[in-house]
Each structure stands twice: as C-alpha cells, then as structure tokens.
Amino acid sequence: MNTDFEVSDKTTVEWYTPPEIIRPLGEFDLDPCTSDIAYSFNKSAKTYFTKKDDGLSKEWFGRVWLNPPYIQPTITQFMEKMALHNNGIALLYNRSDNQMFHSFIFPVIDSIFFIKGRIRFYRPDGKRGEQPGAGSILIAFGKNNTEAIEQSGIVGHMFKSINKKVALQTSIIF
C-alpha cells in the first residue's frame, strides 16, 4: 500500500490532479495552491497562486478549486480558508475522522462525493504515482458546486448534508 501522499516531507506535497478530474467540474476562477508545472498541464482555474505567492496570504475570489498541500498545519489552514470562502470544490483524501472535518468542514459543506477508484496523481516529472493508500473525496462548498459534481459524470457516490449549514464568520484556528 502506497501512503506516500500523506508523508510529511517537502517533496510529497507535489501531487497534481489529473485534468480529467478537474475539467468535468466546470470552470474555476482560482486555484490558490498549485505550481507552474501543475498548472501547465491541468489548467485548474483562470487564476492561480503558487507557494512563492503564498495563496494563504491572498484574497480568494470566485469559484475555487482546492487540492491543498497534504502537510500540517498547511492543509488545515487552506481548508479553513476554503470554509470561510464557501464557494468551490476541494479534493481531499478519504480520511475524515479528524478535528479539521468536525470543526469546519462537516458544519459548512453542502455535500461530499466519494470518488470510485483511486486517483493516481501526477508528479512534477510528468509520471503518475502508484495507486495511493486511500481514496479521494470531492467536497462541495455551496449548492452550485454540488450540482457541478452531480453533472460531471465522475463515478462515485454523493452524500448531501442535512444539517443546517453554518457560515463560518471568522477563523477559528489562527
């Protein structure tokens, strides 16, 4: 079982989303965390920020595509900023029993979609990684993004939140 995607070293955050996952979800305005190499092949959004820009320090706008760096505390910071922004789709590993999900993902989101099969992400050299040790989920912030997932044709199962959604007003972790 390859669990490289969750190992905390500097190189392992460079796992890039295959275009066939992003494209059917419609046009995104912003990818706040990517690299020039990733962007050159998956064109994730109209505008993007890299580590050099520091997407966490920027103002986010429009519909956001988020596959955050899988390293703490950065992943939690990006996910909290996404919850505050509340418009877009996040791609995360399918491991939800942690504080981040209970504090500001489950209370805010519109739906979670469990992708069937495992995504083999791309590395900066263009090669695909091995099958990872966990599946992936798409998390919809906003009803429009649930609808985009439903219409995408991506195979999997969606669960919609029946809880009254809470709008996160201020940061709870910073």
Ligand X SMILES: C[S@@+](CC[C@H](N)C(=O)[O-])C[C@H]1O[C@@H](n2cnc3c(N)ncnc32)[C@H](O)[C@@H]1O
Strand order in the sheet with 47-50: 47-50, 30-34, 64-66, 88-93, 136-141, 111-115, 156-160
For the chain, what is the radius of gyration of the CA atoms? Answer: 15
- Residue 29 in tokens: 């305005």
- Total of chain residues touching ligand X, rule CB under 6 A: 21
Q: Measure Cα distances from 172 to 18, 32, 64, 95, 144 in Å.
A: 32, 20, 21, 21, 25
14 lines the binding site for ligand X (CB under 6 A): yes
Q: Which of 20, 27, 54, 130: binder of ligand X (CB under 6 A)?
A: 54
Q: Which stretch binds ligand X (CB under 6 A): 27-35, 95-103, 110-118, 133-141?
A: 27-35
Q: Which of 28, 42, 119, 149: binder of ligand X (CB under 6 A)?
A: 42
Smaller CB separation from ligand X, 56 or 165: 56
From 69, 89, 91, 87, select the one nearest 78 (Cα to Cα). Answer: 69
3-class DSSP assignment, residue 147: helix
3-class DSSP assignment, residue 98: coil
Smaller CB separation from ligand X, 29 or 161: 29
Q: Which of 25, 60, 63, 69: binder of ligand X (CB under 6 A)?
A: 69
Binding letters toward ligand X, positions 123-152, x by CB under 6 A: ------------------------------
90 lines the binding site for ligand X (CB under 6 A): no
Binding site for ligand X (CB under 6 A): 13-17, 31, 33-35, 38, 42, 44, 49-51, 54-56, 67, 69, 74
